Amino acid sequence: MKLKSSLTLLCLVLVSSFVTTTAVRAQSEAAYPSKAVRLIIPFPPSGSTDILGRIVADFLSKDLGQPFIVVNVGGAGGTIGAIQAVRAPADGHTLLMGTPSTIINNPVLNPNIGYDPLKDLQSISFLWSQPAVLLVNKDGPYRTLKDLIAEARRRPGQLNYGSNGAGGFNHLAAELFNSLANVKISHIPYKGAAPAMNDLMGKNLDIVFGTVAGLTSATDKLNGLAVASPTRSPFIPSVPTFAEAGLPAYVYTSWGGFFAPSGIPGRIAERLGNSIEKGLKDQTIKARFIAAGVDPVASTPAELQKHIANEYQQVKQIIEVAGIKLQ
């Protein structure tokens, strides 16, 4: 009889403890954020990712009632900042401003990088998207995508493209094009996108896969043959999509988004996502994003997580087919 009473008492204590812990956790999640939130931007200050991240951080501070403090952690192409975020407590008070290089490209190129984006990071929301644009010199010989493809097939390996380095956005965009168009355009890596763009304008390169902002800032010297989005970009409406230009399978975009260490409570991820969506509907914020040449785009955590998983496989295939290695 005593044994039965003791077991009953133990069960009551365990149930009470579980209920109390659950209630405390729920209260904590409901009160989020309960202190300043650290937003890691894994690049130096003043770049476009930094500027756009700060715009959203400022809105979140006002909307959620706690400071969102931007911390720039540059180095190793964004890897150092990403590792710091992964190792932080999963309570929503440390977030990461992620881009394709930190979330997809770097981990695919280096499996020993120190984090697995599909396991160690929880998606929160997209912030923006920016399609690749195939750029050529305005005074060059190529007027259409078909012109370029025909010449590339006629002279395999003799045309060239510039990129901001192995595994970067421009590099992978060009190698995907090589594969889908069945051409071989040779890679010339640079120590950044700006030098490659300068050489394109100086007629030292045949093409560069750049951005909408890169084209709109140099329309007197460059033409866009096609934009790699499903529909035409409102920033460059005269430039056809790749589908319209004759290569329907080609879609490739850069993007930015918020991430948290894996294990963040779903309620917190949802609250952050809802606040971001609210911010991106604000006309002032939308105007600032558009001025930077990007489309403001919010999403649910599940939508971003699905995109990451799909893009991870796409980039892995591009890198394997092209034989891209770490430099």
DSSP 277-295: HHHHTSHHHHHHHHHTT-E
Q: Do 218 and 74 fall into the same domain? A: no
Parent domain of 140 = 131-245
Separation CA 171–CA 105 (nearest Å): 11
Task: Tell me the percentage of the chain whose pLDDT exceeds 90.
Answer: 82
How many domains is the chain built from? 2
Residue 82 · residue 42 · CB < 8 Å: yes
- Mean of the pLDDT values across residues 294-314? 95
Q: How many CA atoms lie within 13 A of 243 on its CB side?
A: 8
Q: Cβ distance 214 to 48 under 8 Å?
A: no
Place of tokens 């140099």: 218
Per-residue pLDDT tens over the stretch 197-236? 999 999 999 999 999 988 998 999 999 999 999 999 999 9
**Do both 236 and 272 map to the same domain?**
no
> Over the stretch 109-128, which tens digit does the pLDDT of each residue have?
999 999 999 999 999 999 99
On whether residue 30 sits in a domain, the answer given is no
Q: What is the pLDDT of residue 175?
A: 97
Predicted confidence (pLDDT) at residue 16 exceeds the cutoff of 60: no
CATH number of the domain encompassing residue 303: 3.40.190.150
Q: What is the pLDDT of residues 34-48, one digit of tens each?
A: 999 999 999 999 988
For 258-286, b/e burial (b = at least 16 CB within 10 A) is bbbbbebbeebbebbbebbbebbeeeebe
Q: Is 314 among the domain residues?
A: yes
Nearest to 77 by CA among 116, 42, 112, 115: 42
Radius of gyration in angstroms for the set of CA atoms belonging to the chain, rounded to a whole number = 23
Residue 51 shares a structural domain with residue 118: yes
pLDDT attached to residue 7 = 59
- Using pLDDT thresholds of 50, 70 and 90, give the confidence band for residue 10: low
Q: DSSP class of residue 105?
A: I
Full-model pTM: 0.86
Residues 199 and 61 in one domain: no
Range of weakest confidence among 7-21, 223-237, 243-257, 280-294: 7-21
Give the pLDDT confidence score for residue 325 in this predicted structure.
84
| Judgement on whether residues 224 and 186 belong to the same structural domain of the protein | yes
Q: Does residue 264 sit within a domain?
A: yes
| Nearest C-alpha neighbor of 289 from the set 132, 59, 72, 128 | 128
Same domain, 99 and 140: no
Q: In whole angstroms, what is the distance from residue 267 CA to residue 152 CA?
A: 52
DSSP letters for 154-217: HSTTTSEEEESSTTSHHHHHHHHHHHHHT---EEEE-SSHHHHHHHHHTTS-SEEEEEHHHHHT
Residues 151 and 92 in one domain: no
- What residues contact residue 44 under an 8 Å CB cut-off, 6+ apart? 50, 72, 74
Spell out the long-range contacts of 75-82 with Cβ–Cβ below 8 A and sequence spacing 24 or more: 75/42, 76/106, 77/101, 77/102, 77/106, 78/42, 78/43, 78/102, 78/106, 79/42, 79/106, 79/113, 79/114, 80/42, 81/40, 81/41, 81/42, 81/43, 82/40, 82/42, 82/106, 82/115, 82/121
User: What's the chain's average pLDDT?
Assistant: 91
User: Where are the extended beta strands (E) located within the chain?
Assistant: 37-41, 68-72, 94-98, 121-137, 160-163, 186-189, 207-211, 222-227, 253-261, 295-296
How far is it, in rounded angstroms, from Cα 162 to Cα 160? 7
